[in-house]
Structure 1
Amino acid sequence: MIGGALNRLKTAIKKYWARWTFGVLLAVAASLYPLGLWSSHAIERQDTMWSDLRMRLEEPTPDPRVVIVDIDSKSLTEVGRFPWSRNVLAKLVTQLTRHYHVGAVGFDVSFPEPDNSSGYSVLEKLAERDLKDVPILRARLGELKSSLDYDGLFAKALEGQPVILGYNLSTGQAKGVLPKPIFTEEALNGREVWAYHTDGYEANIERLQNAAMGAGSFTVEPDADGVVRNYSLVQKIRDGYYSSLALATVAAYLKVEEGGITPVLPEAAHALTKGQRESGALDALLMFTPDGAREIPVGVGLTTIVQFSGPGGPAGGRFRYVPAADVLSGKADPRVLRNAIVLVGTTAPGLVDLRATPVNKEYPGVEIHANVIKAILDGRFKSYPADGATYEFLQILAVGLLLALVLAVLTPLYQLLLAGAVLAGSIGFNYYMYSQHDVVLNVFACLLLVALLFVMNLAWGYFAEFRKGRALVSRFGEYVAPELVAQMAENPEAYNMEGESRELTVMFVDVRGFTTISEGLTPKQLREYINLYLTAMSEDIRSSHQGTLDKYIGDAVMAFWGAPVAFPDHASRAVATSLLMQASAKRLNEDFIKRGWPELKIGIGLNSGLMHVGDMGSAIRRAYTVMGDAVNLGSRLEGITKVYGVGICVGEATRHAAPEYVYRELDLVRVKGKNEPVAIFEPVGRADEVGQAELDEIAAWDAALALVRAQRWDEAESRIRSLAGAHPQRGLYQLYLSRIAHYRANPPGAGWDGVTTFETK
């Protein structure tokens, strides 16, 4: 049992070692990709596309904690064109904080210039110059100053309220006043942490910034393809690290005091990926709230992956949108705004705050901040784990080795099923980790490896089968008809040259008097004579009845039916071929006589039975042939055709296997090398083609043969002489007349079984 298993293993290794080796090398090479030992922009792009698709598959989950007060088209129509004067914004803040009691307000808008839209500065100049002689004007201006100082009104509305102003980062000059940084380089213990870095910004005027609780950057940098996927939680401006709008707004909402956000430095370098080590990353940010510390993980560049869901906008379904005009007029639903984090932004087309994101090419910029705020509040962040590269390496290697070893031994259908199952499993597990555990992993390298291994094994198998088919055509093309070769090439697995035992019919053909023929022809004529004869016989064997041409033995031909393609009617095909060959020989003979060449006569022996067939021979030369007692008998039958004066002699097994033909019994014989007698017959033709006169002759002959075996010599002689007189060309009758004369002189005795014994081949 163990020996058989080892032999099967050796056979498998011999058959599949090349494919296994190539597959394993491919798997190992692919597994090195996530470790950064080689790179591919094409794979990176595909991973990005899959990441975008994966994000689009997530259903939007409504979050009532974040509300967007939208400066939309309706608000622009009712209030006026934007930017609005700051007395309107002051009212908006007052409504939100004192009337609707929101939890915090974040402005996705900056205020880098003073607001002079009230006209107070113009009136003040008039009072100082052209109308300085009008005392009442100056007095009235003093009374109106507070109501016309829109920046002052706005600053007053901001004082003491959880309102965060926005500002924009730029590469130009610094403008406006920044809030205090959340931490500086000193807090990093000398470690340089990479972040979005700039010296330029467009911040808010000092009056407003000092009045507000804080400020945060609303700058969002897209990826190289212009799509926003990541969000900078912290940006570096000169020597300080400053909060983004989302982080600052959440801090205001959670009542985080100044200095309440600190960096968490990595404990060990090995905990970082190669990219993180090179970029100088933090582990996380800690936000200290009255309820305890919150950890906010950050990726390379102090960023987080934005968790987009739904198409965004008022109809997106994730965040509630309230028109700013409704807040100003008091028509907004208090239940929607109470204790909520409010982001003031715009979706109006003309205000150009739409960004390209994985879920929508025109996504409201203010909702990007809302998504980040939701993630911070939930404490759930889509992130690439520190050991993500190791996991991807192990996944690719395991999947690759499995498929490299298993696909090679499977049929194409099962290859497709296995590869499809692995693809589906990899995608499903990747999406499961993303949606249920917020783990972001790259998967395309693994999917590409599965596809490559599948295509490689499929192509390898195809070309292997093609080569096998070509080899089959090459090896069997000399033996069988082209139609059979084509049939075999379609399913080469079903055919081989291994030895086996099978019921077959064998044929031996020989030229009568070949020595005399060769003496009467020149070498050139003899070659042409033999070539014409062998070509005609070979075509009858292969093409007409799809026999297998075994070999030429001088002027003799050997063929068989039933292998390599099995035919249940192999005996019938052989008998039909033998009759056809006799007709072909007659046709050839007419041509030979016209050329003055010797007459062509052939003898054919057929026998059916169990034979050994396969590729046999020596280490020097081999041939696809048949062997066995049944084959030897077929050879003997060809040899004794000349004794009975017939062109074809078949064994009893062939006669029984091809009953649709009419036969003339010749004798019971015991050939050299066999003890058991066999009946031999001459096929006459198909039963539906043989005339009545010939059938009557055969019946008369059968009766005469029975008299011979009964040793009734006189009656047998009389009947045979009558048949010989009617058919003088039939040598069989003359043979039996001679035998009768011999038996009269030498009686065989009472125990005679009627068998003729041949002592020679």
Structure 2
Amino acid sequence: MSRRPRAHREPVAFVMKRSGARWAAGLAILLALAGHALSRYDIRFVDTLDAMIYDAKVRLFMPRVTDQRIAILDIDEKSLAELGRWPWDRARMAELVNALFGRERIAVLGFDMVFAEPDASSGLAVLDELARGALANDADYRHALAQLAPRLDYDQRFADALAGHPVVLGYYFSNQDASSGAIPAPLMSASAFGTHPFTLFDWTSYGGNLPALQKAARRAGCFNPVIDFDGSVRRVPLVTAYRDGVFGALSLEVIRALYGDATITPLFDDPADPAAPLSGLALATPRGVRVIPVDANGAALVPYRGVAGSFPYYSIADVLARRIPAGALAGKIVLVGTTAPGLMDQRTAPVGEVYPGVEVNANLVSGMLDDAIRFQPPFAATLQALALLLAGLAMIFLWPWRLPARATLFTAILLGAIVAADLLAFARPGWSIPVASLLLAVLALYVLNMSYGYFVEARAKRHFAALFGQYVPPELVEEMSRHPEDYSMAGRRAELTVLFCDVLGFTAIAETLEPEALARLMNEYLGTMTKVIRAHRGTLDKYIGDAIMGFWGAPVDDPDHARHALAAALGMRAALVELNRTLTAHGWPTLWVGIGINTGPMTVGDMGSSVRKAYTVMGDAVNVAARLEGLTRRFDIDIIVGEATREQAPDVVFREIDRVRVKGRAAPIAVFEPQSSRQNTDELARWHAALSHYRAREWDEAQALLDALATQYPERQLYALYRKRIDALRGVELPEDWDCVSAFDTK
């Protein structure tokens, strides 16, 4: 048999040489993500993406229907205004409990709070001390106290109200402090788990209720959520371990109380296998056994029904004052919680950044009633890893990468199939399977294979996009990438123009808005202003609360940096008018800003520490710009620029405002207001004439011009300011070298 010609063997070697590095990189990506999927280690980015996908699915499938079976009694601002600050005396709490079970005929009552401290508000302790001391021999006093004591023992009155009713108190576990108060007997012994893996959350201490209250109520549940790495609450342990016992969550205990203290038994994925993981809790009810799915930690995914307010809320003040409709609470599960500022038990949830903690428990109760708690099946990790390997190996070795259109189509179909299968599993039978690793593998392999050459050839452009992309507009990054040797983030000295913009009266605005609304408003404002800065070739330095700092002339040289900064300021003024129309349509307050601009030598570059750095500017000219922004409030003018900026923009019309000496700087500077093209030139001429008379101490002439201007333009506070100055200076003997400079010693 003859040897195969060399020409037939060369393609294999050529393919190996050409694709070996790409295959190796693809396999490395695949193995790294498979290790994460099998929980061999954590990749935070993948966890973050999984959390985002899960949150999106929750929002997509949440029913958005109010559950009328559960009501939340709210310690809200109205209740605090009518009943006094929290905590209220236990006599009032006893009144509430009696009203709920007597008049309102509720089914179960749960408290999302702890009654840890004795109530001394009645003064009974003081009266007892007198009976043992100064009035020990006063029989009438002791007799009267004996008659009065039961009414003044508020804790006992509360305990009496709790006794005999299906009430669940709240408590919490901890790993820090010593235990306090009392908690109920364990739901079950740790031995109930037999030889199966015991991976429940374990604690070393607790914060419970007063023993008398716990004894009277008998039932209590812990309200420790699982706070994920991003601060969000997606799971709550329904069972948790403490010493040799297993204790139930508040929501689970409420369900148990509803069914007459129903028993709970752990279920395992394979009862015949001692190593089988925990998969659920069996709840024995009069209608049969209900299975509540939980994960290996005994935690359940919270089945959020919607955004905050998915359950009817009633103010406790209205309940006590009988202002709620008759029968509104009859037969309902009632949870007591708070939304009052300062008392807010707020959480971050997949359906809202600010979410009432009591409503987390309400969602769990609702989900258990409807058998609607989704869960991550025990085989989820294996399923994800298997799908990852099959799809990944196919993409690495079988995908038609030499035909980009076909490879893109196949990749799109694969991604669509993964998303569709995940949504179907989440909807029915309610499986929550992490798919971020699989999606990332498909996308990463696609990007790797389709753009391998691009990543090698366009290294300089990517380098500059990473360094400067967050600061400057994309077109400037593109320009810089053409000559990368000319740019650096190292510090250097240059003449630049810097701008500061701040919202006037922001503190008052913030106090009128809820946190979520304030965040949305600020995002609208900062986004709009940033677009204007970048549209005029500005470099965004930073956000300082509600303030914005930008500069012109670096990293890309700009001979017209002063003019571009002025154009940006005028553009921000115009954009604010449009933005305020949008804010008004949302029912939000309108915004007004002050802008300070200054030009001068400053240091620009990457500055900071080993922990954090930023591309920024520093120097005296920067400090002056910040002071000029502060002066906008003093003169009631929205844009103020320094003299150096004005000199570099001779084609712009300016109004000179004053000569000032700002804090931290001895030398005075002239400050100006840029004018629009529609500015009345006659008004400007008369103003400058008045300013000249003022500086020449010709008070009458200056006053006459200012009076006329103020009459014609009453909205301009500058004229009124100078009239007040003249009134103050009349009759004052000024020194010969008076320089007309106004000193401002605050920022």
Cα deviation code 1:619-670 (max 9, x no counterpart): xxxxxxxxxxxxxxxxxxxxxxxxxxxxxxxxxxxxxxxxxxxxxxxxxxxx
Alpha carbons of 1:393 and 1:269: their partners in 2 closer, same or farther (altered >3 Å)? farther
Alpha-carbon RMSD:
3.2
Residues in 1 aligned to 2:40 and 2:192: alpha-carbon distance in whole angstroms: 34
SS at match of 2:374: coil
Correspondence for 2:72:
68
Where do 1:19-418 residues align within 5 Å? 22=23, 25=27, 29=31, 30-31=33-34, 33-36=36-39, 40-59=43-62, 60-132=64-136, 134-170=138-174, 171-189=176-194, 193-257=198-262, 260-267=263-270, 281-312=277-308, 316=309, 318-404=310-396, 407-408=399-400, 411-418=403-410
Distance in 2 (alpha carbons) for counterparts of 1:115 and 1:148: 10
TM-superposed deviation, 1:125: 2.6
* Distance apart, 1:419 and its partner CA: 2.2
Aligned-partner Cα distance in 1 for 2:455–2:346 = 54
Structure 1 pair 269–301 and aligned structure 2 pair: CA distance change class (3 A): farther
Aligned counterparts, 1:688-699, within 5 A: none
Q: Does residue 1:452 correspond to 2:448, yes or no?
A: no
Q: Give the Cα separation in 1 of the matches to 2:231 and 2:401.
A: 46
TM-score normalised over the length of structure 2? 0.55
Q: Partners in 2 of 1:43 and 1:69 — Cα distance?
A: 39
TM-score normalised by length of structure 1: 0.54
Distance 1:266 1:407 in 2: 38
Distance 1:163 1:39, change over 3 A: closer
Of 296-305 and 75-84, deviating more is: 296-305
Q: Which amino acid aligns with 2:57?
A: R
The answer (yes or no) to whether the contact 1:256–1:288 under 8 Å persists in 2 is no
CA–CA separation in structure 2 for the residues paired with 1:450 and 1:12: 27
Q: 1:169 to 1:31 in 2, by over 3 A?
A: closer
1:80 Cα deviation after fit? 1.0
Amino acid in structure 1 at the alignment position of 2:294: V
Please give the secondary structure, in 1, of the residue aligned with 2:120.
coil
Ranges in structure 2 where 5+ consecutive residues have no aligned partner: 1-7, 459-747
Q: Alignment partner of 2:342: what SS?
A: helix
After TM superposition, give the deviation of residue 222 of structure 1 in Å. 1.1
- AA paired with 1:243? G
Q: CA deviation at 1:347?
A: 0.8
- Superposition pairs of residues 563-642 of structure 1, within 5 angstroms: none
Unaligned 5+ runs, structure 1? 1-8, 467-761
Shift in Å, 1:134: 4.7
Cα shift at 1:72: 0.7
Identity across matched positions, percent: 34
Q: Distance in 2 between matches of 1:239 and 1:441?
A: 32
CA distance in 1, matches of 2:457, 2:118: 82
| Partner SS state of residue 351, structure 1 | coil
After superposition, give the CA deviation of every residue in 1:50-108 in whole Å (9 maximum; x if it has no partner): 22333233442321122111111111111111111111111111111111111101101
Contact 1:64/1:336 (CA < 8 Å) preserved in 2? no
SS at match of 1:446: helix
Are 2:303 and 2:372, in contact at CA under 8 Å, matched by a contact in 1? no
CA contact (8 A) 1:218 1:244 kept: yes
Distance 1:462 1:185, change over 3 A: closer
Deviations 1:143-198 (A, max 9, x none): 22222221121111111111011112223222222211111123333556222222
* Residue number in structure 1 paired with 2:477: none
Q: CA deviation at 1:321?
A: 1.0
CA contact under 8 A between 1:179 and 1:215: conserved in structure 2? yes
Supply the distance in 1 between the matched residues of 2:46 and 2:373 (Cα, whole angstroms): 24
Q: Per-residue deviation at 1:460?
A: 5.5
Summarize the Cα distance change of 1:28–1:105 in structure 2 as closer, same or farther, 3 Å threshold. same
Closer, same or farther in 2 for the Cα pair 1:14/1:201, shift >3 Å?
same
Letter of the structure 2 residue corresponding to residue 197 of structure 1:
D
Structure-2 change in CA distance of 1:61 and 1:34 (3 Å): same
Counterpart Cα distance in 2 of 1:206 and 1:390: 47
The question of whether the paired residues in 1 share the 8 Å contact of 2:278 and 2:295 is answered with yes
Pick closer, same or farther for the CA change 1:185–1:463 going to 2, 3 Å: closer
- More divergent stretch after superposition (167-176 vs 429-438): 429-438
Task: Measure, in 1, the Cα distance between the counterparts of 2:87 and 2:196.
Answer: 42
Cα distance, 1:401 vs. partner?
4.3
**Given that residues 408 and 457 in structure 1 are in contact (C-alpha distance below 8 angstroms), is that contact kept between their aligned partners in structure 2?**
no
Offset, 1:223: 2.2
1:333 partner SS: coil
Tell me the CA shift for residue 19 of structure 1: 5.1
Give 1:215 deviation, angstroms: 0.7
Q: Residue 37 of structure 2: SS of its match in structure 1?
A: coil
> Which amino acid is the alignment partner of residue 240 of structure 1?
G
Note the C-alpha offset of 1:12: 10
Kept after mapping to 2: 8 A contact 1:185/1:240 = yes
Residues 576-595 of structure 1 deviation map (CA, whole Å, 9 limit, x = unaligned): xxxxxxxxxxxxxxxxxxxx
Residue pair 1:185, 1:192 contacting (<8 A) in 2 also? no
The residue type paired with residue 144 of structure 2 is: R
Distance 1:10 1:446, change over 3 A: farther
Give, as a single letter, the amino acid of the residue that structure 2 aligns with 1:41.
R
Distance in 2 of aligned mates of 1:110 and 1:464: 61
Q: Secondary structure at the match of 1:349?
A: coil
Instruction: Quote how far apart the aligned CAs of 1:351 are.
Output: 0.8
Displacement, 1:249? 0.9
1:434 is the counterpart of 2:438: no
Once the two structures are superposed, residues 672-709 of structure 1 have per-residue CA deviations (whole angstroms, 9 ceiling, x without a partner) of xxxxxxxxxxxxxxxxxxxxxxxxxxxxxxxxxxxxxx
Number of the residue aligned with 1:554: none
Kept after mapping to 2: 8 A contact 1:254/1:289: yes
SS for the counterpart of 1:356 is strand
- CA-CA distance at 1:329 after TM superposition: 1.4
- CA contact 2:73–2:314 (8 Å) conserved in 1: yes
Distance in 1, matches of 2:105 and 2:9, equals 80
Could you tell me whether the CA contact under 8 Å between 2:196 and 2:274 is conserved in 1?
Answer: no
Map 1:474-493 onto structure 2 (within 5 A): none
Task: Give the Å deviation of 1:16.
Answer: 6.8
Q: Which amino acid aligns with 1:50?
A: I
Give the residue type in structure 1 aligned to 2:123.
G
Amino acid at match of 1:434: F
Question: 1:162·1:213 contact (CA, 8 Å) conserved in 2?
Answer: no
Query: Residues 95 and 330 of structure 1 are in contact (CA less than 8 Å); yes or no, is this contact kept in structure 2?
Result: no
Cα displacement (A) at 1:226: 2.6
Match of 1:283, SS state, is strand
SS class of match (2:353): coil
Distance 2:55 2:218 in 1: 36
Could you tell me which amino acid in structure 2 is paired with residue 53 of structure 1?
Answer: A
Letter of the 2:222 counterpart: S
2:401, 2:450 within 8 Å by CA — same for their partners in 1? no
